[in-house]
Chain A
């Protein structure tokens, strides 16, 4: 459970990134944190992880104040950053060095994910490609069984089969005790696994909905021409006509098109 109340944060005093920012996230969810460049997504993830200190306000992650960096809190949170570097050691050595620090670490789970990602413990971390290293970090993060898993642009650098494997592995390996936060610009890579969308812009939450509520309220479809009899909330031209978002008028539900939804939110149409 993540509780943020009236949080303020700034890098420069004159331009506050977050001002009276509040957010509540429950366990058992995969949250998509979306926003434009510079909206504050990575900063928010760093605040949740306790890497930076809020200027004011209250923050609680599973009952812990993140910036206090309590060792139990640190053993229950794992951040997969967008950019990372590894020591010059093999995967086996890295696992041997870090896994004892996470009490819930599951070696069996790690081996299963390694098989899926075609990784071996004999590989030297710094001789792997960026994508392979990212896959290793994702596998390690999931194997820690941390209650809070944070992924910053997890699919950047992954090839197409790996993106699909990532979705499959993530959905199958997390439990109701865990909360997963994914910040990404590659919304198409994760739109089938997200069950809550939080959009931030200029340090404010401009959208915060569960996926099932979105598909209950909104209808996403591709049409040859813009309908005149139905109110279209947002539309975008595409090769086959228009991608549109309408209000759901019947019991029919559509698949969530997160990219279209995000553009609609940013353009203040939703």
Chain B
């Protein structure tokens, strides 16, 4: 009979969590401080240099730029795999593959996203507060709106496209999971290699769509172009494509990552 504790034990997971935090708290703290400084500097710079109105659209642009940093944090999961010496210690640390995998999902994705959201919210207020004290901002009369996530959602709804409402979060989710899982496939320069692979896969996808456009709409398609408007998007539109990608990421990529971790050798 299979014992559940052979796969997951809460007490062992707590010990692994404590182990990770004790060994890496300085790195986490440093990453957090750097993230705060970068967010603050970026928002303040853009607010001070804004000519008319700094509203939700501008916040959204800055938010997307900052998401790159979150992607880098997620993509640098399993830091022990940077060298064979630390990989050996990691693989021999008493814990199951599932516990080690969930721990990284927890620290890199769940905690990472929560801390990121909170940090962006706090830095938005701090940057606005600072910007409003700048003489140039006072003189130019630039309007800097207050930030809130609910305005994000409202603004997205304003586009009157239900797909667009969650599109940003779905795309961020797909990229995040991709970077997280691909970390287990590469030892050195994992983020860079993952990005190159991602761009390559996107290029293959686009090329396929271009090829299909040329096949099914030969008269309407010119050069490297996708005849998107001619596809029957009511049946399977871009929103459904994104949703399908999220499901594939969850159903295929996350278990794939688990097995990559399980098969890791030194």
Contact = CB atoms under 8 A, between A and B. Distances in A.
A30 interface: no
Majority secondary structure of chain B interface residues (helix, strand, loop or mixed): helix
A71 B96 contact: yes
Range of interface residues on chain B? 20 to 34
10 contacts: A46-B266, A70-B6, A78-B92, A79-B92, A81-B88, A87-B24, A94-B23, A96-B22, A101-B16, A101-B95
A74 B266 contact: no
Interface in A44-60: 46, 49-53
A94 B18 CA distance: 11
A77 interface: yes
A98 interface: yes
Nearest to A146: B94
Nearest to A100: B15
A69 B91 contact: yes
Interface of B: 6, 9, 12, 15-16, 18-19, 22-24, 26, 83, 85-86, 88-89, 91-97, 99, 262-263, 265-266
A127 interface: no
Interface of A: 46, 49-53, 69-72, 74-75, 77-79, 81, 83-85, 87-89, 93-94, 96-98, 100-102
A101 B266 CA distance: 21
B85 A74 contact: no
Contacts of A79: 88, 92
Contacts of A84: 85, 89
A176 B266 CA distance: 30
Contacts, number: 70
A88 B85 contact: no
Contact of B92 (A77, A83, A100): A77
Contacts of B26: 88
B15 to A, nearest CB: 5
Contact of B22 (A51, A53, A85, A89): A89
Given A88-B26, A101-B12, 16 more contacts: A46-B266, A51-B88, A51-B266, A52-B265, A53-B263, A71-B12, A71-B99, A74-B94, A74-B95, A89-B22, A93-B23, A94-B23, A97-B19, A97-B23, A100-B15, A101-B15
Contact of B265 (A51, A71, A77): A51
Contacts of A87: 23-24
Nearest to A98: B19
Contacts of A100: 15, 18-19
Query: Which of A50, A84, A85 has the most chain B CB within a 10 Å cutoff?
Result: A85
Contacts of A81: 85, 88
B136 to A, nearest CB: 43
Contacts of B97: 69
A101 B12 CA distance: 7
A52 B83 contact: no
Contacts of B96: 69-71
Given A53-B265, A84-B85, A100-B15, A74 B22 contact: no
A74 B96 CA distance: 9
Nearest to A52: B265
A51 B262 CA distance: 11
A63 to B, nearest CB: 14
